[in-house]
């Protein structure tokens, strides 16, 4: 018996209709080439299809690649060059950095190292509910640099630990006892995820896309290294992580505040895992190696001859795991999320790149700049308005990738045109792209997992999410800007 997964009719019809309207009905604006306008039609149709989940994002991306090649919007009259253009995204090393890193993070769950790290922190700090919350924060922060799937990290590794702790204290959705401790821990579990995602290029899949868009939007091209990003994020990130559990504790305090048995519970879980096995030790060694190479320490100590590209480092780490048997080829083939990421990332990067090359992004940014200029905003007011609009428009998106691809390039170009220091504004938009995930229960892949476990109501989720979005923006835009000034980034 075959099971057919076909396109959803209504979202598909809407995406096709919008694409056709832009292509055939809306007049091409002055200053925009016909080919740029047609690529915009394909791009908008693709984004609408992703938002509406007409098909899985990878399937939508394959169709987008096909349409770009068939219509030859990037290379009129040259079918060979058109397919070369359509497939050009796969040559982007940042795409493979994320894809391979997702494959490497498979070892966290396979070896049990991720759970061991989580329970270890709880065994040390878990005597009070607030201590358990900070243990979850520390565990996710530890995993973030080497876990490009924020969904796998927050929803697949940390959330089961959080649930086991809540259940141990009799806080379950089924009997309405979530207020004891479960609701608080679930909210902390989730609101940690956007912050850690902002702190490292390799902490969530869209971050390398942002690096690419920044490089293409600056002249001369400026590309953030892994170390520059991490150093810029460390101060506002740690402040956000330190304050977030306290703020949620004050707004929605748990009924159970003392948890002396939690440390014992965590130690029992650790005992159940047994002594650290060789595969876990190899995983730790590989993670250490990756952090050293991504941070550029060999080149810093021994010179540029020892510089290793981040994607090359990721392939090295994966090769070690394959050679030692920690991961098998079947493990990699079964990690659908990694291959899915490579496909959609390649398609969206390709389309965004050619929208820039064909002049569409410059036209959009000029239009935004014109509106803000008429309103007589200085660059500081304009930047704050652009960031606020960029962040809170995420209420209308169910995908951070779609949101970033649709808006980042034009908003970034507009801010620079209005006089904003390029690196300052790049950092503001880059970090906001993760922080906005706090807003809704559909903001990113992690949110439906944690919200779906039933520990919190929709109203509680949205209230805490909005409050944390404001707090995080104040920290990252305010304290962050001062820190970036000290670093000499602007």
The DSSP annotation for 335-360 comes to -HHHHHHHHHHHHHHHHHHHHHHTTH
Contacts of 421-425 with CB under 8 Å at 24 or more apart are 421/490, 422/218, 422/222, 422/490, 423/222, 423/484, 423/489, 423/490, 424/481, 424/484, 424/489, 424/490, 425/383
Quickly state the pLDDT bin for 5 (edges 50, 70, 90): low
User: pLDDT exceeding 90 applies to what percent of the chain?
Assistant: 48
Question: Residue 470 CB: number of other CB atoms within 10 A?
Answer: 12
* 481 vs 441 pLDDT, higher one: 481
* 104 vs 365 pLDDT, higher one: 104
Tens of pLDDT, residue by residue over 286-314, are 988 988 888 778 887 888 888 888 889 88
pLDDT for 281 beyond 60: yes
Tens of pLDDT, residue by residue over 218-262, are 888 888 899 999 999 999 999 999 999 999 999 999 998 888 888
Query: Is 115 in contact with 165 (CB distance < 8 Å)?
Result: no
Q: Is 424 in a helix, a strand, or coil?
A: helix
**Domain range enclosing 16:** 1-86
Tens of pLDDT, residue by residue over 344-376, are 878 888 888 888 789 887 787 778 878 887 777
User: Does residue 76 lie within any of the structural domains?
Assistant: yes
Tens of pLDDT, residue by residue over 404-427, are 988 898 899 889 988 899 999 999
Total residues found in the chain within this entry: 490
User: Does residue 52 lie within any of the structural domains?
Assistant: yes
User: Does residue 188 lie within any of the structural domains?
Assistant: no
User: Does residue 179 lie within any of the structural domains?
Assistant: no
Task: Read off the pTM.
Answer: 0.78
User: Does residue 203 lie within any of the structural domains?
Assistant: no
Query: Is 86 in contact with 65 (CB distance < 8 Å)?
Result: yes
Tens of pLDDT, residue by residue over 130-161, are 999 999 999 999 989 988 888 878 887 888 88
Question: Residue 380 CB: number of other CB atoms within 10 A?
Answer: 11
User: Does residue 59 lie within any of the structural domains?
Assistant: yes
DSSP for residue 145: G
Count the domains in the chain: 1
Task: Please state, in angstroms and as integers, the Cα–Cα distance from residue 446 to each residue in 149, 154, 157, 334, 400, following that order.
Answer: 9, 6, 11, 20, 11
Per-residue confidence (pLDDT) for residue 4, from 0 to 100: 56
Tens of pLDDT, residue by residue over 54-77, are 998 889 999 999 999 999 999 998
User: Does residue 161 lie within any of the structural domains?
Assistant: no
Residue 38 and residue 84: Cα distance in Å, rounded?
Answer: 18
- Tell which residue, 175, 182, 178, 177, has the closest CA to residue 132: 182
User: Does residue 67 lie within any of the structural domains?
Assistant: yes
DSSP for residue 455: S
Q: Which residues pair with 128 in a beta bridge?
A: 258
Q: Which two tokens stand for residue 228?
A: 């520059």
């Amino acid at each position: 018996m075959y099971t057919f997964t076909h396109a959803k009719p209504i979202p598909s019809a809407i995406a096709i209709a919008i694409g056709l309207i832009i292509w055939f009905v809306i007049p091409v604006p002055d200053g925009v080439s016909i080919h740029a306008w047609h690529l915009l039609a394909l791009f908008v149709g693709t984004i609408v299809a992703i938002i509406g989940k007409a098909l899985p994002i990878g399937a939508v991306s394959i169709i987008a690649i096909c349409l770009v090649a068939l219509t030859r919007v990037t290379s009129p009259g040259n079918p060979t060059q058109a397919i070369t253009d359509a497939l050009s995204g796969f040559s982007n090393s940042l795409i493979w950095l994320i894809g391979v890193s997702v494959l490497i993070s498979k070892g966290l769950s396979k070896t049990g190292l991720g759970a061991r790290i989580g329970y270890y922190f709880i065994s040390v700090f878990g005597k009070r509910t607030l201590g358990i919350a900070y243990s979850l924060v520390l565990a996710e922060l530890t995993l973030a640099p080497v876990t490009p799937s924020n969904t796998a990290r927050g929803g697949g590794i940390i959330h089961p630990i959080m649930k086991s702790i809540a259940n141990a204290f009799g806080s379950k959705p089924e009997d309405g006892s979530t207020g004891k401790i479960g609701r608080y821990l679930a909210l902390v579990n989730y609101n940690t995820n956007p912050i850690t995602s902002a702190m490292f290029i390799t902490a969530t899949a869209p971050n390398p896309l942002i690096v690419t868009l920044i490089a293409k939007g600056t002249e001369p091209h400026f590309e953030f290294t892994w170390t520059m990003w991490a150093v810029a994020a460390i101060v506002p990130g740690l402040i956000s992580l330190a304050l977030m559990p306290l703020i949620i504790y004050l707004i929605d305090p748990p009924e159970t505040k003392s948890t002396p048995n939690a440390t014992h519970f965590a130690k029992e879980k650790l005992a159940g895992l047994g002594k650290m096995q060789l595969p876990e030790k190899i995983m730790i060694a590989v993670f250490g190696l990756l952090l050293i190479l991504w941070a550029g320490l060999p080149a810093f100590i021994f010179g540029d001859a020892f510089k290793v590209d981040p994607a090359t480092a990721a392939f090295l780490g994966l090769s070690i795991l394959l050679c030692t048997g920690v991961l098998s080829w079947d493990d990699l083939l079964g990690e659908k999320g990694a291959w899915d990421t490579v496909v959609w990332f390649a398609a969206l990067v390709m389309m965004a790149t050619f929208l820039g090359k064909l002049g569409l992004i410059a036209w959009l940014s000029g239009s935004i700049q014109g509106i803000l200029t008429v309103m007589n905003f200085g660059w500081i007011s304009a930047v704050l308005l652009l960031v606020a609009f960029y962040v809170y428009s995420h209420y209308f998106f169910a995908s951070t990738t779609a949101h970033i691809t649709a808006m980042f390039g034009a908003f970034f170009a507009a801010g620079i045109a209005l006089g904003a220091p390029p690196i300052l504004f790049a950092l503001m938009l880059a970090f906001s792209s993760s922080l906005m995930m706090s807003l809704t229960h559909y903001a990113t892949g992690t949110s439906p997992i944690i919200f779906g476990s039933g520990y919190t109501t929709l109203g509680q989720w949205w209230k805490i999410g909005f409050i944390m979005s404001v707090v995080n923006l104040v920290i990252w835009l305010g304290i962050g800007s001062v820190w970036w000034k000290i670093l000499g980034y602007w």
